[in-house]
């Protein structure tokens, strides 16, 4: 689907007619557990004077059965009390049409769709159909698997149903290897979503990315530094005894401390800053050009080596040579203050491209020797087109 065909026409918080603005702060417990827990937590959050929206999960999608699954429908009147007794808007997660209908009837102000629901187009369509003709803000969390199209697709299904006030929430992705966090942040996903839809409000849920109180601050700051539109944080009046996600929830007091410690940057640079930024950006452009020129030269040389290997009938992949290159650059990267993982990834991409170029040289000989200076044919191979038709 091209940009002109997508039904997604996001609007900014300021046009949502709810008095919301960036950065939007949403806070509240992972689950609604009891009336007392919900109302106490909401009042303590309201008293901080910085939060606009109270979150609480009524229906909890648990990975395995046997865990606390939320208070369900019984908790709707508790959210109504929060609405009546504080200045906070209320928000909860919906996963079925039945949830949607109950929330609309109870006057819940906003909805979110959870990370386990987003990847299922049938569920999303069911929710979208239940929302048809209803004007309520809906946030879509990223799918648990890193798939930008599924995330966008869910937003589009809501747009097709007529929802105009919608946002996205970045909560990280499940990952098969151990990561320092509960979910891998993979910041390139919210960045790519923002790049495709600049007006879309993309929040961050640092609680579910971090998975623990000590790592929350770093993730929250990074989200703000990237210009995301706000934070949804899990806050509980008694985290140690929470029925779900006890390790990552903050007390209202610790939440305030954390918010006070964060740097909320202006989304747009001020005028004096523009000049300084421009100077630095010119420098970056210049350096990018130099990096690309050097890469071009490096690839030319790799091709000459490929010619040699072809003439001598030597294998393209020489693992010992590659090991020694990696050792050398990793030692150098340490001196230059570059992270080893970044340099390893960068070098790996260069290596793959060199091999691809050299493979073409050899494929030519093996298949009867294409003229090596035939630029048209070569371009086709480099673009993955078949040179033999
Ligand atoms: C939640 O917000 O409590 C929740 C279940 O989050 P997610 O869908 O991101 O796992
Ligand atoms: Mn949670």
Q: pLDDT tens digits, residue range 65-118?
A: 989 999 999 999 999 999 999 999 999 999 999 999 999 999 999 999 999 999
Q: Counting atoms of ligand 1 from 1, which one is nearest the CA of 171?
A: 9
Identify the residue whose tokens are 């009837």: 105
Both tokens of residue 49?
Answer: 């004077």
| Ligand sitting nearest the alpha carbon of 236 | 2
| Ligand sitting nearest the alpha carbon of 246 | 2
pLDDT band, very low/low/confident/very high, at 279 (cuts 50, 70, 90): confident
**Taking CA 163 as the corner, what is the angle to CA 159 and CA 165, rounded to the nearest 5 degrees?**
110
pLDDT band, very low/low/confident/very high, at 381 (cuts 50, 70, 90): very low
Percent of all residues in the chain with a pLDDT value above 70, rounded to a whole number: 91
C-alpha of residue 219 to centroid of ligand 2, in Å = 16
Q: Counting atoms of ligand 1 from 1, which one is nearest the CA of 244?
A: 3
Compute the distance between CA of residue 360 and CA of residue 352 in angstroms, rounded to an integer: 13
C-alpha of residue 115 to centroid of ligand 1, in Å = 6
Both tokens of residue 64?
Answer: 């395995």
Compute the distance between CA of residue 49 and CA of residue 249 in angstroms, rounded to an integer: 19
Are the CB atoms for 26 and 206 separated by under 8 Å?
Answer: no
pLDDT band, very low/low/confident/very high, at 147 (cuts 50, 70, 90): very high
Mutate to test the pocket of ligand 1, among 115, 186, 204, 206 (most ligand atoms within 8 A of CB): 115
Output the residue whose Cα is nearest ligand 1's atom 2: 30
Which pLDDT belongs to residue 364? 52
- pLDDT at residue 315 tops 90: no
Q: Counting atoms of ligand 1 from 1, which one is nearest the CA of 31?
A: 3
Compute the distance between CA of residue 188 and CA of residue 352 in angstroms, rounded to an integer: 22
The C-alpha R_g of the chain, in whole angstroms, comes to: 26
- pLDDT at residue 374 tops 60: no
For ligand 1, say whether the CB of 208 is within 6 Å of any of its atoms. Answer: yes
| Ligand sitting nearest the alpha carbon of 116 | 1
pLDDT band, very low/low/confident/very high, at 275 (cuts 50, 70, 90): confident
| Ligand sitting nearest the alpha carbon of 139 | 1
Q: Please provide the distance, in angstroms rounded to a whole number, between the alpha carbons at the two ends of the chain.
A: 30
Which pLDDT belongs to residue 282? 86
Which pLDDT belongs to residue 2? 61
Q: What is the mean pLDDT of residues 237-242?
A: 98
Q: What are phi and psi of 299, to 5 degrees?
A: -70, -40
pLDDT band, very low/low/confident/very high, at 268 (cuts 50, 70, 90): confident
Both tokens of residue 361?
Answer: 């040289």
> Which letter, b or e, does each residue of 279-294 get, where b requires 16 or more Cβ atoms within 10 Å of its Cβ?
eeeeeeeeeeeeeeee
Mutate to test the pocket of ligand 1, among 171, 172, 181 (most ligand atoms within 8 A of CB): 171
C-alpha of residue 243 to centroid of ligand 2, in Å = 10
Q: What is the mean pLDDT of residues 143-158?
A: 97
Q: What is the mean pLDDT of residues 12-31?
A: 97
Q: What are phi and psi of 319, to 5 degrees?
A: -60, -35
């Amino acid at each position: 689907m091209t940009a002109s065909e997508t039904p997604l026409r996001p609007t900014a918080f300021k046009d949502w007619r709810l008095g919301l603005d960036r950065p939007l702060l949403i806070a509240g417990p992972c689950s609604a557990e009891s009336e007392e827990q919900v109302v106490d937590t909401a009042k303590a959050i309201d008293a901080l004077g910085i939060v606009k929206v109270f979150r609480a999960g009524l229906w909890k999608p648990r990975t395995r059965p046997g865990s606390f699954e939320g208070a369900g429908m019984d908790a709707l009147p508790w959210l109504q009390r929060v609405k009546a007794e504080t200045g906070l808007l209320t928000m909860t997660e919906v996963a079925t049409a039945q949830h949607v209908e109950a929330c609309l009837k109870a006057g819940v102000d906003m909805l979110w769709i959870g990370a386990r629901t987003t990847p299922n187009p049938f569920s999303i369509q069911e929710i979208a159909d239940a929302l048809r003709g209803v004007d309520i803000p809906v946030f879509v969390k990223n799918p648990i698997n890193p798939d930008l199209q599924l995330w966008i697709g869910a937003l589009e299904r809501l747009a097709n149903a007529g929802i105009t006030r919608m946002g996205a929430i970045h909560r990280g992705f499940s990952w098969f290897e151990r990561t320092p966090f509960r979910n891998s942040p993979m910041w390139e996903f919210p960045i790519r979503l923002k790049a495709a839809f600049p007006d879309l409000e993309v929040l961050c849920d640092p609680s579910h990315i971090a998975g623990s109180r000590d790592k929350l601050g770093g993730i929250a700051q990074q989200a703000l530094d990237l210009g995301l539109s706000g934070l949804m944080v899990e806050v509980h009046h008694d985290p140690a005894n929470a029925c779900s996600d006890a390790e990552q929830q903050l007390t209202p007091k610790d939440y305030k401390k954390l918010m006070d410690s964060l740097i909320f940057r202006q989304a747009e640079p001020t005028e004096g800053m523009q000049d300084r930024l421009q100077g630095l950006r010119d420098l970056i452009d210049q350096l990018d050009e130099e990096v690309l020129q050097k890469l071009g030269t490096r690839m030319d040389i790799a091709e000459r080596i490929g010619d040699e290997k072809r003439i001598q009938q030597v294998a393209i992949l020489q693992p010992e040579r590659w090991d020694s290159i990696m050792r050398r650059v990793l030692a150098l990267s340490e001196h230059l203050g570059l992270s080893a993982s970044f340099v390893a990834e960068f070098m790996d991409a260069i290596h793959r491209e060199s091999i691809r170029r050299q493979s073409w040289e050899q494929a030519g000989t093996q298949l009867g020797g294409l003229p090596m200076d035939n630029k048209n044919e070569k371009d086709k191979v480099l673009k993955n087109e078949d040179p033999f038709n």
